[in-house]
């Protein structure tokens, strides 16, 4: 049984976030039309929804929820989901697929621009325990932060040129943790395949490349939770991006 938690929040999105709160319902709706995944499997699912009114006072409510998959919402939900997750492990690790590193600057609250930096700053995640895959639009301040802290990154050129080697490295890295968390910002995918997101970045990963990574990562016994964020149905075309969210979840079954 896969437990899916719907998080209809756009409160950490700052701008261009209107609409991401609709994604959990749309993704679940699209899942109904996926009969079996590419490995001819399908799990029963249990769906839990965090009421939007409970999120109005802050995404902190997310920390109390347990689940296998969290569907956002903007990327700030990952701070709170990971915080709740990390309390169950001595040495948790995080793998992020994202076009942006989300370490831009520190607001007073975790936003979609700096949720990862907050996790490190607040001592919830060791900087050596995170890897970011698919980067292709990084602010100079963010790049300086990543380099100063020696955070493991694999930009889009590395993925494009050496997909298998990058995946091998990620698999080796991921085995170091007693609990592994996977966060997928849909903008890691090229907008020709995933137009329904707030910050489109040309030149991204293909869906097939991401599925290749997912099929390998799900073989890890320590992979315990994942989220998918930044799908915006208001900006989508023919439900392509919501359908992609449904496929991503189905391929992890």
Cβ neighbours of residue 243 under 8 Å, at least 6 residues apart? Answer: 30
Going from N- to C-terminal start, the domains of the chain cover: 2-251
Model confidence pLDDT, tens digit, residues 180-190: 999 999 999 99
Give, in order, the Cα–Cα distances in Å from 172 to each of 13, 85, 101, 182. Answer: 33, 21, 21, 15
Which pLDDT score, from 0 to 100, does residue 229 have?
98
Residue 70, strand partner residues: 5, 227
pLDDT digits (tens, 9 = 90+) for 21-66: 999 999 999 999 999 999 999 889 999 999 998 887 778 899 999 9
**Which of 86, 180, 97, 177 lies closest to 132 in space, CA to CA?**
97
Question: What pLDDT sits at residue 43?
Answer: 84
Return the pLDDT at 17: 83
Residue pLDDT, tens place only, 98-147: 999 999 987 888 999 999 999 999 999 999 999 999 999 999 999 999 99
| pLDDT above 90: percentage of residues in the chain | 89
Instruction: Domain 2-251: give its CATH architecture.
Output: 3-Layer(aba) Sandwich (3.40)
**Four-point Cα dihedral 91, 97, 99, 102, nearest 10:** -30
| Bridge partners, residue 152, by sequence | 131
Q: What phi-psi label fits residue 76: left (phi over 0), alpha (psi between -120 and 50 degrees) or beta?
A: alpha
């Amino acid at each position: 049984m896969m437990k899916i938690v719907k998080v209809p929040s756009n409160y950490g999105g700052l701008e261009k976030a209107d609409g991401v709160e609709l994604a959990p319902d749309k993704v679940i709706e699209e899942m109904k039309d996926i009969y079996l995944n590419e490995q001819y499997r399908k799990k029963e699912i249990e769906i839990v929804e965090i009421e939007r009114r409970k999120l109005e006072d802050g995404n902190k409510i997310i920390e109390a929820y347990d689940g296998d998959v969290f569907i956002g919402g903007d990327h700030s939900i990952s701070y709170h989901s990971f915080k709740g997750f990390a309390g169950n492990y001595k040495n948790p690790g995080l793998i992020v697929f994202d076009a942006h590193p989300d370490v831009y600057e520190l607001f007073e609250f975790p936003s979609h621009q700096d949720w990862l930096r907050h996790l490190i700053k607040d001592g919830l995640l060791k900087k050596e325990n995170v890897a970011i895959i698919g980067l292709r639009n990084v602010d100079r301040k963010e790049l300086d932060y990543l380099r100063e802290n020696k955070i493991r990154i694999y930009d889009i050129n590395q993925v494009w040129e050496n997909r298998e080697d990058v995946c091998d490295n990620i698999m080796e890295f991921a085995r170091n943790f007693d609990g592994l968390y996977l966060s997928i910002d849909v903008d890691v995918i090229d907008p020709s395949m995933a137009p329904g997101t707030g910050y489109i970045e040309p030149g991204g990963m293909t869906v097939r490349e991401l599925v290749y990574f997912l099929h390998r990562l799900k073989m890890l016994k320590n992979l315990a939770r994942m989220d998918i964020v930044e799908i915006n149905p208001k900006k989508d075309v023919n439900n392509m991006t919501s359908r992609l969210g449904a496929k991503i979840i189905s391929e992890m079954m």
